[in-house]
Amino acid sequence: MTTLTLWLDGTLHEADTARVSVFDHGLTVGDGVFETIKAVDGRPFALTRHLRRLARSAHGLGLPEPDEDEVRHACEAVLKANPMALGRLRITYTGGFSPLGSDRGTEGPTLVVAVVEARRRPDTTAVVTVPWPRNERGALTGLKTTSYGENVVALARAREHGADEALFGNTVGALCEGTGSNVFVVLDGELYTPPLASGCLAGITRALVLEWVGAKEADLPLDVLERAEEVFLTSTTRDAQAIRRVDDRALPGAPGPVTAKAMRIFTERAAADIDP
């Protein structure tokens, strides 16, 4: 891999030599928030929405509000320093240096902005459901924190079963979301997605599909996946991606007509507006 240049605490660094303290609270206890942003020809997609969510997540975790001008400038500088056709820009914002065992440090947060090359995802994928519920009423519900252990374990389960995403129900058995994606289902030709109250992240791709394509937000039992005509995922790295298998159930013909329409509308609208 060619050497990447990233932003760390106020300036550009070569990725090979950039250093964060081993006592960074983000590393030791997962006290951090993040965003993953698609970059097309050096331009970040939906940056304003991502920065708003970063600020909301930071607020929810009790971190000082990130300096929006600095984060925008860092994204611009990193994208300029690493030209690529399709990239995944990653903003990580943590509690900062804190000697082990103590509360959050007093020296201020750590901000890292980096970009790596991305591949376009295939149009269809396979998913599994996992038996561990998402807590729809937890302190971190709806925040995009770096405490992703639960998602790491679920994704490993998916990989063991030849799938590349895992879907969670919540504590009352309703469909919630994937480890890094939101979920839409088609029932009797109508498009549905779980509401934010299900405990899912307020995905930016989800919001754009709701606005551009239209879908009903509804509580859906997890077993809806056994009878849905079509199912698709949304995320920054997947856009809208059709599901061709859920656990042992094949969904032949994926993407079905409703999903294909959502994929097409999303692609067209996203190409027309870089910061919708």
Question: Given the rule CB under 6 A, which residues bind ligand PLP?
Answer: 36, 177, 180-182, 200-201, 203-206, 234-236
Q: Least separation, in Å, of the C-beta of 100 and ligand PLP?
A: 28
| Shortest Cβ 183–ligand PLP spacing (Å) | 9
Which of residues 236 and 259 has its CB atom nearest to ligand PLP in the complex? Answer: 236
Of residues 37, 16, 33, 51, the one with CA closest to residue 79: 37
- Give the nearer residue to ligand PLP in terms of CB position, either 97 or 209: 209
CA distance 124 to 221: 23
User: Which of 98, 143 has the CB closer to ligand PLP?
Assistant: 143
Closest distance between ligand PLP and the C-beta of residue 160, in Å?
20
Minimal distance in Å, beta carbon 114 to ligand PLP?
A: 16
Nearer to ligand PLP, 182 or 241 (CB): 182
Task: Name the minimum Å distance from CB 200 to ligand PLP.
Answer: 6
The least CB distance from residue 173 to ligand PLP, in Å, is 19
Q: Which residue number is nearest to ligand PLP in terms of Cβ?
A: 203
